Structure 1
Amino acid sequence: MIPAAFDYACPTSVEQAVRVLAEGGAAAKVLAGGQSLLPMLRLRRASPKLVVDVGRLPQLRGVREEASSLVIGAMTTHHEVLHDALIRRYAPLLATATETVGDPAVRHRGTLGGSVAHADPAGDLPSVVLALGGELVAEGPRGRRTIPAAEFFVGCLRTALEPDELLVEIRVPKLGEGWGFHYEKFRLAAQTSTVVGVAVSVRRENGGIAEVSIGLTNMGATPLRASAAEAALARADATVEAVARAAEAAAEGTSPTSDLCASPEYRAHLARVLTRRAVLAAVGMA
């Protein structure tokens, strides 16, 4: 199909982008890598009056290190995330999950910020940012503000961003020695949407599990934490039996949908199975 007519703006600074978004209001859409927005435009699932292309803002690309965090520019591509030395050292869960996104062509064009701001329940990276305890930095006419990932996703394809705000950075904690990571997902075929995904970070101590965080993909309208499974694993022995028991609680508190790919019951089953696999891989017992 052919997209509906829209105006196009290509700002050359963040300040100009924010100003254009404020003028466009709710009728404006941000174009980052285009891997999500362009298909929606072609299918007329989105019909903005104004498209604001932020692809020429180099200040929104790259990864830098702060005392306790990594700061990732919103326009940093999946390919750059996947191969960045700082991310692979301090947040390998993000690199591992990014490697499963789309195909090489998608990863060269798609961006971390675009994926997070799109807030697709089947998107892999929002649940990873949530599991890592990340923060999203937005800039608007009123200045910058930092939004915890737990408050950023408010519904299917909806975030806490105001219409005149632009996502500029993603911040994730630097995790060091003792942490293990894994992202496990199920999809029906290559390049199809994730049916269910599980992002896990685990810190082992004295043969047991000291800390654990589990993010779920496509188990509700937003990415979710598997809180019941996390509680069952906290201070548990790092054994196959203990992990299997805790994984049985992975779907508690979730609200998976039904579609052509899976029923809610099947998604709940997948959440339990994939959580067990992901935790075992993260603790080195796969």
Structure 2
Amino acid sequence: MFPPQFDYHRASSIDDALELLERHAADDPRILAGGHSLLPDLKNGRASPRALVDIGEIDALRGIGSGADVESGADSGADETAIGALTTYADILESDRLQRHAPVLTDATSVLADLQIRNRGTIGGNLTAAEPGADLPAATLAADATVRVRGPDGERAIDAAAFLGADGSEPALRERELVTEVRVPHVEAGGYAKKTHPASGYAMVGVAAVLETDDGTITDARVAATGVLERVVRLAAVEDALVGARVESKTIEAAAERAGETIEPADARSDDHASGEFRVHLLSTYAERALERAVDRVAAGAGGTGTAGDLE
């Protein structure tokens, strides 16, 4: 199918992009970054804007670092990493800083799409699209990240749960707002495990896990799932079973068994490849695998490196 006709505008800066979005508000403008969600929507008739604002040339939206590398200029501090919204998946995978301090994010990125898409797709575009089976929303939610945006009313910071609608609310991004960066707190260990959907390449089920420990005891746990519902979701029962327990195989296995308690099978997504009941059934297996990766990193004494692989 052919996309609808639209006016194309290339922004030279963040302020220019916001001005273009405001000027063409009556044309239902859409932002073009990597284009991997927008272009299929245009061709399939799911979107029909009369104006596109291309932000792909805004260098201020690229970079990984303490915060000075991205447009806001504010130092995010030594305990978190700022990722510019136009930072590609490939750049995330190549970042030693993120491999050390945000392994759940690099794990999820390592099983995302193919080489061509990783070189073009962006973290800001991925989170804004928030596809039900996308990998990065689960990793971002488990990482307790903050998304920074700018719009007509200025700049604001939104926690990942609110931004993604994971708390049951509508996604918090407003019209004519632009994602500028994602700030990810540093964690002791994390992991991601995924059952790939055979048709889409998204997650049929994906689980992201982050652990903090003290002297062999789990002091904090955040576990999030994608692919099961129309939005990402925290697996609260798994988290409750982990906090206060020892870092042991039996702890991980027992906690993972509770993964399905958060989701009713009747509420889960269903298609020709997997019923909602089957997706919920898979949760325990992939929760256990994600937690095992995190525990391996706890044992290694660092965030660790490497990729998650497509654990079937």
Fold similarity call, TM over 0.5: yes
Mapping for residues 81-230 of structure 1, pairs under 5 Å: 81-154=92-165, 159-175=171-187, 179-189=188-198, 192-230=201-239
CA distance, structure 2, for counterparts of residue 258 and residue 244 of structure 1: 26
Moved >3 Å (runs of 4+): 188-191
- What is the CA deviation profile of residues 192-224 of structure 1, one whole-angstrom value per residue up to 9, with x for unaligned ones? 221010001112332232221111112222111
Aligned to 2:9: 9
Aligned to 1:20: 20
- Contact 2:102/2:189 (CA < 8 Å) preserved in 1? no
Moved more, 2-11 or 182-191: 182-191
Match of 1:274 among 266, 282, 286: 286
- What is the CA deviation profile of residues 52-109 of structure 1, one whole-angstrom value per residue up to 9, with x for unaligned ones? 1100100000012132221110000000111012212211221111111100000000
Measured at CA, do residues 159 and 22 of structure 1 come closer, stay the same or move farther in structure 2, by a change above 3 Å? farther
Give the partner amino acid of 1:218. Answer: G
CA-based RMSD: 2.0
Report the CA distance between 1:191 and its aligned residue. 6.3
- Contact 1:204/1:283 (CA < 8 Å) preserved in 2? no
Report the CA distance between 1:264 and its aligned residue. 1.0
SS in structure 1 at match of 2:98: helix
Measured at CA, do residues 82 and 190 of structure 1 come closer, stay the same or move farther in structure 2, by a change above 3 Å? farther
- Contact 1:119/1:159 (CA < 8 Å) preserved in 2? no
Aligned to 2:256: 247
SS in structure 2 at match of 1:252: helix
Report the CA distance between 1:239 and its aligned residue. 2.3
Moved more, 217-226 or 18-27: 18-27
Aligned to 1:231: 240
SS in structure 2 at match of 1:198: strand
CA distance, structure 2, for counterparts of residue 100 and residue 190 of structure 1: 15
TM-score (norm 2): 0.85
- What is the CA deviation profile of residues 228-280 of structure 1, one whole-angstrom value per residue up to 9, with x for unaligned ones? 11011111122222222211221223342111221111110111111012112
CA distance, structure 2, for counterparts of residue 89 and residue 253 of structure 1: 30
SS in structure 2 at match of 1:163: coil
Report the CA distance between 1:190 and its aligned residue. 8.4
Report the CA distance between 1:41 and its aligned residue. 1.2
**Contiguous gaps of at least 5 residues in structure 2:** 67-75, 300-310
Give the partner amino acid of 2:30. Answer: K
Measured at CA, do residues 261 and 23 of structure 1 come closer, stay the same or move farther in structure 2, by a change above 3 Å? farther
TM-score (norm 1): 0.93
- Contact 1:208/1:236 (CA < 8 Å) preserved in 2? yes
Moved more, 227-236 or 256-265: 256-265
Identical pairs, percent: 37
CA distance, structure 2, for counterparts of residue 154 and residue 201 of structure 1: 20
- Contact 1:102/1:191 (CA < 8 Å) preserved in 2? no
Aligned to 2:49: 48
SS in structure 2 at match of 1:283: helix
Report the CA distance between 1:180 and its aligned residue. 2.1
Report the CA distance between 1:129 and its aligned residue. 0.7
Measured at CA, do residues 4 and 190 of structure 1 come closer, stay the same or move farther in structure 2, by a change above 3 Å? closer
**Contiguous gaps of at least 5 residues in structure 1:** none
CA distance, structure 2, for counterparts of residue 105 and residue 191 of structure 1: 16
SS in structure 1 at match of 2:2: coil
- Contact 2:135/2:202 (CA < 8 Å) preserved in 1? no
CA distance, structure 2, for counterparts of residue 222 and residue 97 of structure 1: 16
